[in-house]
Structure 1
Amino acid sequence: AIASRAEKKLKAIEQSMTGVELYRARGNWFENRRVATGGEPSPAFNRRVNTLIDKLKNNPDRQAARDEILAIGKAATPAMLKRMKDPDFTVRWEMVNIQGYMRDEAAVESVVERVVNDGDSHVRWRAMWALNQYPDTTRAKELVLELSKSTDEAQRWNAFVGMSMLHMPECLPAIHKGLKDADSWRRWEAVNALARVNDESSAAGLRGVLASSEKRHRREAINSLGMIPGDEAYNVLAGAVDDQDPGVRFRVCMALGKRGDRRALKVLTERRAVEQDKQVLE
């Protein structure tokens, strides 16, 4: 009876489709079966996937092309892997983005490769996001840990940032060192990483960041300190309540409020008495 009902439901779905939709649905099923059993998609099928990938370059077509690739399923992965190194930034970003939703284990190595080697930070960060969408990140962790030993300094750094996204404490010595890097963007990445690997040892380094003239770094440091437990992190936060930047002060007040530490009540009350910025007061 159950099989009969399922058959009727499937028939109703098929009848609601156009001829082209039905043809594609059956083709997707066949190609996914082929890939699942160790085969390669047909050349014609790969051409179809590549046509969809090319449509991702155009904003009006992008969402529809993205949806159709996801509807195809893992049979689209072989073509996608070949486009992970596409010269077009949008294509590379979309390849890792779609894999974040598709979560095909066959793509993990290529997504990790984008984390450590892509020249565009937007692609690298989307690739890190994608790895975090997999239900099992064991393989990704093994790969970034191995790449953190690379002889290439840029690869090592990108691997350490990737490790932070996967909440791997092994990255902390390198990330702490990165807080004083000569490159501003790398310093920001280091500060940001400490919000994900919440270790009390990071509070001292973030105290130093709060002495920086770069307000975006100070703001990010407050966000990270708010995620770190312990008295030292609390004291650094409380000490930043009088920062000259209202954006920093706003984040300090939010972070102290979320900690639930009764000591913060006095700090916040005293700041409120002299605060003039409307956003901070709210």
Structure 2
Amino acid sequence: MSTQAQSTTSPQTTLALEIGLLLLLSLIWGSSFTLIKIAIPTIPPATMVAARVTIAAVLLILIARAQGHALPAQGSVWAAFFVQGLLQSALPFTLISWGEAHITSGLAGVLNATPPMFVLVITLMTGRGRQSVSGRKIIGVALGLAGVAVTMGADAFSEIGTTAPLAQIAVLCASLCYALAPIWGQRFSGLPAIVTAAGAMSCAAMLMLPAAAVIERPWALAPPPAQAITAVVALAVICTAFAMVIYFRLIRTLGPLGATSGSYLRAGFAVALGTAWLGEHFSWSSLAGMVLILAGVVAVTMPARHDQKPRG
């Protein structure tokens, strides 16, 4: 009897935990827009990303080894790690950092809320992805985008087409990377999340260190202020190393569309953090937008009833 009760409550408990982790990840990544904005005036984008991913890679490797995990030795796995590191970290981090040098963090948050749309299109076109695309998930994506629009307000959208269009395109390209990354990342489901995160981040560091050296020559730059250095360390430790462990777990548990649905929450948290930290104005429309965002995330992540129908 107790075993049966445990089996009926376990899926709900697990789903609540995964949605809680999705909320935490969205809060962490929502704060990254503010941290990038603090650092970008004195630390150029490739140098910032190189420092961010290198610190994160070292930390993740140390944690993996402390937990008794060894990094894979197969060349095919490392080739896959390189693709993951490029799609999830090296390329999108650079595109967003460069973009935020030319557009506001609010507009960057709006544009970077689009990965679920890309995931949906990719899934419909290729049939790939663990989760089937239902009408409810499509409605959830639409609700999430509507929530982002309401939360950010018309001011952010008024900049589209008038302020640094190349920067806007760069942030949208980063969103496409974020859509492709969880689909590619499903191949690592047999590895512990910490091992996948350490391997992919190590490859991102191997890509970005020479790129920053050639493009920006960081040793010739003026020393950045302490505030910028602190922002980069926070980006590396919290927004990258810690966040990636959660992220690769969510790819396994919620699937690509569920994992990327956090991009809506990320945009909403960016507004909330701006209100709390920077004294930005908070309106009722922001609250209404957050409700729409949460409704969209629930619609995207909640399993369908027929998925749990007993077989036989």
Q: Could you tell me the TM-score, scaled by structure 2's length?
A: 0.20
Higher relative contact order (CA 8 A, sep 6+): 2
Which of 1 and 2 has greater Rg? 1
Q: Could you tell me the TM-score, scaled by structure 1's length?
A: 0.22
Report the structure, 1 or 2, having the larger helix content: 2
